[in-house]
Amino acid sequence: MHQTLWILAIGTLCFRLIGPFWAGSSRLTPRWQALISDATIVLLCALAVVSSVMDGHQFAGWARPIGVLIGMVLTLWKAPFPVIVIAAAGATAGLRYLGLS
């Protein structure tokens, strides 16, 4: 856990310092900027999908993906963030209470 903290903290600081301290006036082309921002979206999306459905190598059960799906429907309806998060968690908790894992 200490390893995670320090690698992530120091690495992130280096990323942030590159522009202000070393790069001077060099700029990324718009094409590279778009690729970097797409890479971030791809990672976040994959993280969302995997953590909705899986627990390690195993299927996480139905309660969690159904809760997430309800959160997605609320996202489509442009509900505010807190509502989306609480509804997803609440639905999953309710399903588990009813006995669905």
Task: Name residues contacting another protein, limited to 32-51 (CB under 8 A).
Answer: 32-33, 35-51
**Is residue 100 close enough to count as binding another protein by CB under 8 A?**
no
Separation CA 44–CA 47 (nearest Å): 5
Tokens of 97: 């209470």
Q: Are 87 and 74 in contact (CB under 8 A)?
A: yes
**Is residue 60 close enough to count as binding another protein by CB under 8 A?**
yes
Given candidates 3, 77, 98, 99, which one binds another protein under the rule CB under 8 A?
3
**Is residue 5 close enough to count as binding another protein by CB under 8 A?**
yes
Q: CB of residue 99 vs another protein: minimum separation in angstroms?
A: 12
Residue (of 55, 51, 72, 62) closest to 98 by Cα position: 62
